[in-house]
Amino acid sequence: MSRIRQAVEDDVPELVRLRALLFEDLGGEFFNPSSGDEEWRHALATVLKEQLGSDAVRVLVVDSDGGLAACGIGTIEQRLPGPHLRNGRIGLVIGVVTDPAHRRRGHSRAIMHGLLDWFRERGAARVDLHASHDGEPLYRALGFTDHPDPALYWRP
C-alpha cells in the first residue's frame, strides 16, 4: 500500500513538476496552448505555498527516492445551499498525477482514498472532478458517476 502524507512547502518544486506532467498527459490546445510560457509555474508555486496551510485545501503526496512519485489536490468550495446541495459545500479533486516511472502501484488510488476521507470529514455534499481517459476507470471504481449538470466555460 502506498504511504501518503500531506505535502509541505519543501514539496512545492516537485508538485509543480508533477502538475506539468499532468498537463502534458492531457495535451491539446486547452491544456498546452502553443502560446504558453513558463510563468504559470511560478504562479503555481506561489499559490501552492499560500494554500498548503489552508483548511479548504488538501495536498497529498507519495514519496519516492529523491522526489515525489505522485500527488493529488483537493479543495472545498462554499456555494449557496439548494435542494440538490443541502449545505453548499462542494469538494473538487484537482490533478491527481503519478510520475510515469511510478505508475501502476496504487499511488493514485491511495491518494484518492485520502482525499475522499478528507472530503467526508469536511462535510462535502458532493465531490466533482474532471477525469482523464486513463484515470476514468479508477474514479468510476471509487463511485464517481456522470455529472448531471452541463458544463460550459468562458475565457475573458
151 within a domain of the structure (yes/no): no
Contacting residues for 118 by C-beta, under 8 A, at least 6 apart: 58, 74
42 within a domain of the structure (yes/no): yes
pLDDT at 150: 81
Mean pLDDT of the chain: 90
Asked if 81 contacts 87 with a C-beta cutoff of 8 angstroms, the reply is yes
Q: Which of the two residues, 155 and 65, has the higher pLDDT score? A: 65
CATH number of 96's domain: 3.40.630.30
- Four-point Cα dihedral 149, 152, 153, 154, nearest 10: -130
149 within a domain of the structure (yes/no): no
Asked if 58 contacts 115 with a C-beta cutoff of 8 angstroms, the reply is yes
150 within a domain of the structure (yes/no): no
Give me the percent of the chain exceeding a pLDDT of 90: 71
Domain containing 131: what range?
4-141
> Would you place residue 2 in the very low, low, confident or very high pLDDT band (cuts 50, 70, 90)?
confident
- Largest Cα–Cα separation, the chain: 48
Asked if 112 contacts 71 with a C-beta cutoff of 8 angstroms, the reply is no
If you write DSSP's letter for every residue of 90-110 in order, what string do you get?
A: EEEEEEEEE-GGG-SSSHHHH
Give the total number of structural domains in the chain: 1
pLDDT at 34: 46
pLDDT at 64: 94
Neighbours of 114 (CB within 10 A): 20
43 within a domain of the structure (yes/no): yes
Give dist(CA 124, CA 118) in Å, integer.
Answer: 9
Asked if 79 contacts 46 with a C-beta cutoff of 8 angstroms, the reply is no
